Amino acid sequence: MIILDANRLEQAMQRFAGIVGEENVWRGEEAAHGYKDAFAPRDALSYAPRGAVAPASVEEVQAIVRVAGELGIPLWPTSRGKNFGYGGGAPRMREVVMLDLIRMNRILEVNVEMGYAVVEPGVGFDDLYHYLVDNDIPLWISAPAHTWGSVLGNALERGVGYTPYGEHASKVCGMEVVTGTGELLRTGMGALEGARTWQLFPYGFGPSWDGAFMQSNFGIATKMGIWLMPEPEHTLNLAMAFDRVEDLPLGVDALRPLKLDGTVQANPSFGNIIRNLAVRAPRSAYYQGSGPIPADVLEQARVDSGVGHWNFSIRLFGDKAVNQINAEKVKRAFAHLPYEFEVSEWHRGEPLRGSGSPTPTLGALGVVDWLGGPGGHLTFSPVSPFSGAEAWEQYTTIRGMYEDAGFDYYGGFTAGQRYLNHISMVVFNRNDEEMCARANTLFSDLIETAASKGWGEYRTHTLFYDEVARTYDYNNGALRRWNETVKDAVDPHGIIAPGKMGIWPRAYREGQS
Amino acid sequence: MRAFAIAALPVLAFAAALPLAQRAQAQAGKSGQELFAERCAACHVEGGFGTRVLSRRVPEGQAELEKRETLPAALTIAVVRRGIGSMPQIREAELSDADLQAIANYLEKRL
């Protein structure tokens, strides 16, 4: 930790104000409360920032970075700050100034013919959705469970949605980045002045850097191209609920061939019963005792609510005739299970709600009210092989750890093509210090146990960057050392998001040692 | 006609995007009711997440903010800036003081 000198910080804030206007810089409590982790598992102000500055243009970002480099003031970029469960917009540590990019909220281009958009960091999923709908543009967004967040920020954090374009990081094509010295570069084909294929061909010439600016602190993304899915003629949804917990492996193994051969292009998610119950009512509606809900109570809640222990939908997107053929293939793949699909269809021209196109929603935030108090959640996200046996081992291991620690297991498996994102949430009451402590301990134990079994997290909460980064330890941490080498080279002042993903600039590493 | 529309859309799209960039200034001309509908209604109308949560905590009929018998502006401002319960705080860069004041005044006067 490097403590910021108060005089130097104030000097920087005054110079930032000269760049963006006094009305767009914040100090003290205003900054701390504005950018704290709203669902913090410990004192939120203990890792809230010392200040904040909100530029409105690329040129202002460059000017701020140059001042920060000159004065040694670390900046923590945030797009919209809605990465809830992973720390929101909060920084890794208190001794930073937030670089809030929410005022950079222009949709710079939507190309209908080529199916892409170019957005600034402050553009939310809701903004892009409304823009496409209001202008009758036949392209669909893909969005995560809630739509309050940034299109750019979510893709750079490798967020996941539920359409065939749901692996958001893979749909990024071309970025503009401000470097640690305030220079401006464009990735891929954008490096060619006047390029006509910046958002069309993702690789460019030579090393491809888009991936290096995701989940990293090597630069500040100020523009991003994102491919958008052409509106399909038809969607067909096959929903199924499993009455028995132990049927998860059957479902996973039935789905895998359909994902591998492309029959199912979207990302179905097997959600457990509590994920389903939590959007209907708080926990007290089902159980008033302490500790995890007993199995018999959960079974009764399942019967009473008419849900499954696992609930999922396989949605097919495309031409109606093709969807109908593929639906029969899906049904055959699941025919050995003792359940029926509930089938629904959507045709172009009908209201979008229910189509599979994301529509604005904050419903997923319901989880934070599960315990009925001021809730918080920590999201634990290991990746599983796309195998029923492997998913079952991961599920039983992790659920057991949740319950041993006194928590309900809330989670699910979202299908990629060859992997499953196993996303679970430790839900706690922020006013209950003992429960918060248990949540933190459980989270650290989960990281350690998962790593010992060869399971790594694809994303984590700000407070646990170092712990997760340490588990990626092949060859004595060769990847960490590589990241540090790159960090020192591209951010010589060490001012961009120190500690992000466990990557610390040299000065901090030496300070730590 | 369709081919023309497709060819022209990227340009139109860019032009139509400009008001979004100028929102900070444009918001000043909107009423508190309009701003509430734009910025708060996703959660705080009937059926919204915020209304559902509040319905478990406040007297019957008081969960929808626009139907509250009493809602002091100072309380709205404090809750928005600091957050409360399941609601995260909303910072000034996202919602200006002027817009928040207009929303808070609108909710307070619905007595």
Phi-psi region of A354 (alpha: psi -120 to 50; beta: other; left: phi over 0): left
Q: Which helix (H) or strand (E) holds A377?
A: strand A375-380
**Interface touch B10/A109, C-beta < 8 Å:** yes
List CB contacts of A70: < 8 A, sequence separation 6 or more: none
pLDDT tens sequence across A448-506: 999 999 999 999 999 999 999 999 999 999 999 999 999 999 999 999 999 999 999 99
- The reply to whether A165 belongs to the active site is no
Same domain assignment for residues A276 and A317: yes
Q: What is the ipTM of this complex?
A: 0.93
**Residue A29 domain boundaries:** 6-100
Residue A223 inside a domain? The answer is: yes
Q: Confidence band (pLDDT; 50, 70, 90) for B27? A: low
**Interface touch A369/B10, C-beta < 8 Å:** no
Q: Domain total for chain A?
A: 4
Residues of A in contact with B23 (CB under 8 A): 105
**Interface touch A38/B88, C-beta < 8 Å:** yes
- Residue B26 has a pLDDT of 37
Q: Say which CATH number the domain at B43 has.
A: 1.10.760.10
Q: Confidence band (pLDDT; 50, 70, 90) for B13? A: very low
Residue B93 inside a domain? The answer is: yes
Residue B80 inside a domain? The answer is: yes
Q: Domain total for chain B?
A: 1
Q: Say which CATH number the domain at A472 has.
A: 1.10.45.10
- The reply to whether A27 belongs to the active site is no
Give residue B58's identity as a one-letter amino acid code.
Answer: V
Residue A68 inside a domain? The answer is: yes
Of A136, A175, A138, A135, the C-alpha closest to B19 is: A135
- In percent, how much of chain A has pLDDT > 90? 95
Please identify, among A72, A100, A128, the residue that sits at the C-terminal boundary of a domain. A100
Q: Confidence band (pLDDT; 50, 70, 90) for A366? A: confident
Instruction: Compute how many other C-beta atoms are within 10 angstroms of the C-beta atom of residue A170.
Output: 15
Same domain assignment for residues A183 and A252: no
What residues pair up with A27 in beta bridges, in sequence order?
A51
HSE-CB of A154 using CA atoms within 13 angstroms? 27
Residue A1 inside a domain? The answer is: no
pLDDT tens sequence across A298-314: 999 999 999 999 999 99
> What three-state secondary structure class fits A468?
helix
Same domain assignment for residues A501 and A460: no
Same domain assignment for residues A58 and A89: yes
> What three-state secondary structure class fits B41?
helix
Q: Confidence band (pLDDT; 50, 70, 90) for B28? A: low
Residue A303 inside a domain? The answer is: yes
Residue B97 inside a domain? The answer is: yes
- Residue A431 has a pLDDT of 93
Of A106, A470, A341, A276, the C-alpha closest to B14 is: A106
Catalytic residue among A165, A459, A480, A508: A459
Q: Across all residues in chain B, what is the average pLDDT? A: 79
Instruction: Compute how many other C-beta atoms are within 10 angstroms of the C-beta atom of residue A53.
Output: 27
Residue B45 inside a domain? The answer is: yes
Same domain assignment for residues A18 and A160: no
Sequential DSSP letters for A304-324: HHT--SEEEEEEEEE-HHHHH
Residue B8 inside a domain? The answer is: no
pLDDT tens sequence across A113-149: 999 999 999 999 999 999 999 999 999 999 998 999 9
Sequential DSSP letters for A166-200: -BGGGGEEEEEEE-TTS-EEE-GGGGSTT-S-TTT
**Residue B103 domain boundaries:** 29-108
Q: What is the mean pLDDT of residues A160-173?
A: 96
Same domain assignment for residues A33 and A52: yes
Same domain assignment for residues A72 and A116: no
Catalytic residue among A131, A287, A458, A472: A458
Same domain assignment for residues A302 and A325: yes
Chain A: give the shortest CA distance to residue B75, in Å: 16
Residue B14 inside a domain? The answer is: no
Structure tokens at A455: 């399971």
Residue A346 inside a domain? The answer is: yes
pLDDT tens sequence across A51-61: 999 999 999 99
Same domain assignment for residues A368 and A416: yes
